[in-house]
Structure formats: structure tokens, C-alpha cells
């Protein structure tokens, strides 16, 4: 196989080409070329070698067309890449940044609170409107002289009955008191009046119980009406 060994100095370059058997290494090519005799400063232990600019080891097996190159050691230090000057933060910059972050957080929290307050205000306004509409409907029903619903009618009727029962009981008590006063004036015994008093109290109690039953029935009817309306 045909291979080459090369080395270059500022004022002198040398490339040696020759044939080697298959499986030969880079070290064998260097020894066969005799290039170290022409350049006494070359040494496999000090100088690096490579193939077409890529570093290899001396025991690297060569192939057809390879060129073993000797490299001179670098002289001096590599140039440093210039860096842009670092910007020094202004005095108080970190504190100002912290203040801005805190202000942003406070603003965000305030915006969230305003949104919640707005929702609460809207719900309150809706509830107030509903109450106003209900009051308006109730007033209209009163003006027409009819209850707003069947349940309200029953409730109104029971209230009137209760009021009538209380008035009747009061009238009985007044009549009993009047009869007692008249008996005292005539000198008659008040035994009969005293007997009538428990009867009037019993009548009063019966009237209250009847009124309570009517109120319970009206409340039950009202509940049934609400359930029916909700089902519809």
C-alpha cells in the first residue's frame, strides 16, 4: 500500500512517499521513512503525530493513501477571547428590583380581590332585585284584593278565622265580666258567673286549638303547592 510521511518547519517542508505492507503501523512508517534522521529534533515521545490533521497513536494501523504527519509543539500561549465588559448593577438596583416584584405581587392579589368583590356585589344586587320583584307582586295582589296563590289564600283565611275566634272569646269574657258586675250590684251571688267563667275559658281554649289546626292545615297546603310548582 502507498503511504506518506510529512513534516514542516517555517522554512522547510518534507513529504516522503513509499510502499508498506498491509497492516503496517504509523510508528513503522516513521521508522521506514528516515524522517527523524533528516530532522534530529523530531521524537515520537515528544512530538505528536496524526493523519490528515487528526491525532493518532503510534500503534495506529495504516490504510492505503494515509499520510502520517509530525506536529511541532505550540510556542507561546493561545490568544484569549475578548469578553464584553460586565455590567455592574447600579447602587440599590437589587433593592429596587425586589420592590418592583413585591409591587407586582400586591397588584395581582388586589386584582383578584377586586374580582371576588365584584362577584359578591353582583350576587347581592341580583338577590335585591328578586326581593323587589316579589314585593311588587305581593303589592299587586293586595291591590286586586286576591291572594297571590292558593297557599297564600289558605293562609289568609286561617288568619282571619283565628282573629274571629279570638274576638269571640274576648266578647265572651267581656260579657261574663259584665254579668258579674251586674250581679254584684244587685247583691246576687256570683256563683253562677263563677261557673260560667271556666266555661268561657274552655271555649277560648277550644277556639285557639281550632285556629292552630287551621294554621297547620294551611301551612301543609302551602308546602304541597310549593312542591308541585317545583316539580312543574
Give the model confidence (pLDDT) of 85-110 as tens digits.
776 655 566 777 788 888 888 888 77
* Coil vs helix vs strand at 87: coil
Which has more confidence, 119 or 22?
A: 22
**pLDDT for position 206:** 80
Say what the pTM is. Answer: 0.34
The mean per-residue pLDDT over the stretch 172-178 comes to 85
Over residues 177-220, the pLDDT tens digits come to: 888 888 877 765 544 444 455 556 777 788 888 888 888 888 88
Length of the chain, please?
Answer: 232
Stretch among 22-31, 119-128, 156-165 having the lowest mean pLDDT: 156-165
DSSP 37-75: HHSTT--TTTSEEEETTEEE-TTPBP-TT-EEEEEPPP-
Would you place residue 113 in the very low, low, confident or very high pLDDT band (cuts 50, 70, 90)?
low
Region label for 147, one of left (φ > 0), alpha (ψ between -120 and 50) or beta (otherwise): beta
End-to-end CA distance of the chain: 103
Name residue, grid cell 512530538.
47
**pLDDT for position 55:** 93
Over residues 15-68, the pLDDT tens digits come to: 999 999 999 999 999 999 999 899 988 888 888 999 999 999 999 999 999 999
**pLDDT for position 68:** 93
**pLDDT for position 96:** 77
**pLDDT for position 67:** 94
Which has more confidence, 185 or 11?
A: 11
**pLDDT for position 74:** 75
Would you place residue 151 in the very low, low, confident or very high pLDDT band (cuts 50, 70, 90)?
very low
CA distance to 36, 153, 207, per residue, from 160 (Å): 134, 11, 13
Is CATH 3.10.20.30 the classification given to domain 2-71? yes
Element (DSSP H or E) covering residue 183: helix 150-186
Amino acid at each position: 500500500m502507498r503511504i506518506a510521511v510529512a513534516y514542516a518547519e517555517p522554512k522547510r517542508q518534507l513529504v516522503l512517499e513509499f510502499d508498506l505492507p498491509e497492516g503496517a503501523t504509523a510508528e513503522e512508517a516513521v521508522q521506514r521513512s528516515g524522517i527523524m534522521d533528516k530532522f534530529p529534533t523530531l521524537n515520537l515521545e515528544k512530538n505528536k503525530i496524526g493523519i490528515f490533521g487528526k491525532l493518532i497513536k503510534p500503534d495506529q494501523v495504516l490504510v492505503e493513501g494515509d499520510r502520517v504527519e509530525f506536529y511541532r509543539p505550540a510556542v507561546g500561549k493561545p490568544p484569549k477571547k475578548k469578553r464584553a465588559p460586565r455590567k455592574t448593577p447600579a447602587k440599590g438596583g437589587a433593592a429596587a428590583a425586589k420592590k418592583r416584584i413585591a409591587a407586582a405581587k400586591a397588584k395581582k392579589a388586589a386584582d383578584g380581590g377586586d374580582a371576588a368583590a365584584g362577584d359578591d356585589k353582583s350576587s347581592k344586587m341580583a338577590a335585591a332585585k328578586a326581593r323587589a320583584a316579589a314585593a311588587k307582586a305581593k303589592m299587586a295582589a293586595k291591590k286586586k284584593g286576591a291572594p297571590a296563590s292558593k297557599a297564600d289564600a289558605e293562609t289568609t283565611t286561617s288568619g282571619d278565622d283565628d282573629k274571629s275566634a279570638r274576638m269571640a272569646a274576648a266578647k265572651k269574657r267581656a260579657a261574663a265580666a259584665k254579668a258579674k258586675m251586674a250581679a254584684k250590684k244587685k247583691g246576687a251571688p256570683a256563683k253562677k258567673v263563677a261557673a260560667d267563667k271556666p266555661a268561657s275559658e274552655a271555649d277560648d281554649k277550644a277556639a285557639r286549638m281550632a285556629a292552630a289546626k287551621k294554621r297547620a292545615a294551611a301551612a301543609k297546603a302551602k308546602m304541597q303547592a310549593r312542591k308541585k310548582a317545583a316539580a312543574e
